[in-house]
Structure 1
Amino acid sequence: MISCDRVFRATDLAEVPRKPGVYVWFFDEIPADVPTEGCHVGEHGTALYVGIATVKRTLRSRLRNHFRGNASGSTLRLTLGCHLDLPLRQVGSRLTFGDQEPVVSEWLAEHGRVACVAHDDPESLEQELLGTGRFPLNIKDNPHPYAKLVSERRAAARSAARAVGA
């Protein structure tokens, strides 16, 4: 597990390193239906999601995108918005919760904390963490049984967005 000596909130983004690495999201409130059995639980909440940042999209830019972006640029935001039952919209090729994006931002700011570590090979560290099966909100290469339901929930939201936009 990534060390939780320092976690970041939405207000701490200027302090996040501009380096590649891995980050783990902790939540003090769990979205509806998300199972937490086997997840790491600590003083900062329950670890539900792990992600990577590359040389081009550093830890700081990735976390800024998660805290303040939109559903098109952040799979975490897409997943949380779906769990918060927000209507997804397709605008051109982009997915967004439209005027409800601030709801996701506010929810993340209130309930999310993120620990990160700079790492030259973030993909291998992410794979190692995902291999533990402790992160229910990840999909790709995730053995957690809830990953399939997250994938189906996001697919249903995308399908509904396309149907409305058609």
Structure 2
Amino acid sequence: MTDTCKPYRVLFVCMGNICRSPAAEIIFRHRVGEAGLTDRIEIDSAGTIGYHAGNPPDPRMSETLSARGYEIAGSSRKIRARDLEDFDLILCADRDNLDDVRSLDPGGERHDRIHLITRYCIDREADHVPDPYYGGRRGFEEVADLVEDACDGLLAELTGTSGPVR
């Protein structure tokens, strides 16, 4: 993250933008707020499909996050090619999402800013954030656990600290 006047912009992406990516947006927004960096880091989320456009986060994800003390906000939207220009970092929930987002940049000029969110995990080993949509409560808890870990690692990297900033 640079010390310019322009905020650093992070976009989280999953398929429908109702479970994993809004969870990441909500959790990271909370972490950034706790760190006093809301004026320096902007956060959003999107989906690779527009099926749920305008909908709030899935009620099961909202319940999971609310129980952990997070404020639920936001509505689903589909990612746009323009997002690849507008955001400094785009973090995807799984390999399919990563491939879909990179397909919006056929020349590969912006691939260096598109990664898996699990790249930033500190304590958990995972190569993706699993989609909890068709599963039970435990799947939503697992998503929250992975995303909290990744958001801690991301914030630590962006702020140049060695661990979670809380």
Relative to total residues, which structure has the larger strand share, 1 or 2? 1
Tell me the TM-score normalized by structure 2: 0.29
Q: Which has the higher contact order (CA 8 A, sep 6+)?
A: 1
Tell me the TM-score normalized by structure 1: 0.29
